[in-house]
Amino acid sequence: MLNAALRAAGQPFAGHVRENSRGFEMPGRSTTCRERMSKTMRPAWDKLSDFCDVRRCSSFSKFSDSLADPGGRIDSWLKTIRLAPLMAHEYRCRPGWSVGPRRLLYSVWWIFPESGGWVILSDKNRRMPFKPGDLILMPEGMEHQVTLSTSRITPQYAGHFHATMFGSLNLLSFMGFPLVIPSANATLPQEAAAAMIREYEIKSTGWQSVMESELTRLLLYVVRHHGRLFGADNLKMFHINLPRLFPVFEFIEDRLHDPDLTVDDLAAHIHVSEVYLRRLFRTVTGMSVVSFVLQQRVKRACLMLYRQSHTIKQVAESCGFAGVIYFHRIFKRFTGKTPMNFVRNNLS
């Protein structure tokens, strides 16, 4: 019957199709059509009672390219993340738009929905292209330049944020987040970006919590769908050396307000020599202990100045700077601006 139908329709078929009590069978294949259909169309529900079924976990699709974490260590470390969205805007960029070279004390995300361009890393002498809709994640402290290759006005979504682990470590750098994430026609990045921009501009009740939630969603999207893009070398170092410094990071966070905090205090806290701590600290963070502490103080100061709820003197005292003049000098060294200019730039 099926063979006749195929001949009538002029459809090619390989061999002779036999019909039996179990369904239609192709020569040389033991699995029948009915058996294959029963496997692909099996119910996705298990019966709990006469009135309720529960969906099987096996019926949910897996994330496309999740970051490998066999021991669950990365997942446990992700629970220590602190996210602080600072701002989010939508811009219109004209032909020739470019930003940088510059080095910032906060991380930045960008999406250019209608234009591609280049990300240039001065420190590493790298030049990476991006396409329309790609997500760009720039860690704090990395010197960079972003340029567009367009001959027309094009939209730009951008946001500034802090993302730390264990109170001090920059999430993007230490987990080896990719800098350019292909859009692959995914809608989630642009949806999260648009939501953060709307929340920041309107500032309705709970806007900061919603921005933090959308930023979490954006970063986890990268972890779950672009795991193979993560820097393997960063993760290896992250696994081996980072746990030794957990108590130090926590101690710095707790004592950041104290202007008398010293490297010797930190070494004594974990019962090692000052020389060993300096060497280990530079291996893990890429910077000296003193520079790291100063950077954390300036980052906290930036966050307080963004919120505009304290005077400059109060910010200096809260962040462990011994005097306003010293605070001005260190702040300008790291940001390129005085605290007052930083506030004015934020307001504008």
- The pLDDT value recorded for residue 275 is 95
- Which pLDDT value is given to residue 19? 41
pLDDT at position 147 is: 96
pLDDT on residue 348: 54
User: Which DSSP category does 58 fall into?
Assistant: G
> What was the pLDDT predicted at 149?
94
* The predicted structure's pLDDT at residue 239: 57
> pLDDT tens for residues 257-288?
999 999 999 999 999 999 999 999 888 777 89
Are the C-beta atoms of residues 339 and 328 closer than 8 Å to each other?
yes
CA distances from 16 to 12, 13, 35, 265, 286 (A): 11, 8, 19, 84, 69
CATH superfamily membership of 74-230: Regulatory protein AraC (2.60.120.280)
Name the architecture of domain 236-347: Orthogonal Bundle (1.10)
Preceding amide of 243 cis, omega within 30: no
What local confidence, expressed as pLDDT, does residue 13 receive?
A: 42
Least confident of 4-13, 78-87, 129-138, 325-334: 4-13
Question: Do 74-230 and 236-347 share a fold?
Answer: no
Lowest mean pLDDT among 129-133, 204-208, 258-262, 285-289: 285-289
pLDDT at 58: 86
Looking at the chain, the whole-number percentage of residues with pLDDT higher than 90 is 53
**Which is it for the CA torsion 231, 232, 237, 240, positive or negative?**
positive
Q: Which residues, in sequence order, are bridge partners of residue 163?
A: 83
Partners of 340 in the β-ladder? none
**Residue 15 scores a pLDDT above 60:** no
What pLDDT does residue 18 have?
44
Going by C-beta distance under 8 Å and a sequence separation of 6 or more, which residues neighbour residue 234? Answer: 173, 174, 175, 176
Question: Which pLDDT value is given to residue 218?
Answer: 97
Give the burial class of 217: count Cβ atoms within 10 A of its Cβ; 0-12 exposed, 13-18 middle, 19 or more buried: middle
What pLDDT score does 165 carry? 82
- Is the Cβ–Cβ distance between 183 and 113 less than 8 Å? no
Report whether pLDDT(200) > 90. Answer: yes
Look at residue 29 in the predicted model and tell me its pLDDT. Answer: 45
Residue 117 has pLDDT above 50, yes or no: yes
- What is the domain partition of the chain in residue ranges? 1-37, 74-230, 236-347
Q: What is the mean pLDDT of the chain?
A: 84
Is residue 105 a contact partner of residue 302, using CB atoms and an 8 Å limit? yes
Residues 241 and 118: beta-carbon distance below 8 Å: no
How much is the pLDDT for 249?
A: 87
Question: Is the pLDDT assigned to residue 41 strictly greater than 60?
Answer: no
At 74, the pLDDT band (50, 70, 90 cuts) reads confident
SS3 call for 307: helix
For the stretch 158-191, pLDDT in tens is 999 999 887 677 889 888 899 999 998 889 999 9
Q: Is the pLDDT score of 156 beyond 90? A: yes
pLDDT band, very low/low/confident/very high, at 42 (cuts 50, 70, 90)? low
Q: What pTM value is reported for the model?
A: 0.72
CB-based contact 117:129 (threshold 8 Å)? yes
- Could you give the CA distance from residue 232 to residue 227 in angstroms, rounded to a whole number? 10
144: number of Cβ within 10 Å: 22
- 226 and 204 in contact (C-beta within 8 Å)? no
Residue among 233, 247, 231 nearest 280 (CA): 247
Q: What is the dihedral of CA 88, 85, 189, 112, to 10 degrees?
A: 30
Residue 229 DSSP class: G
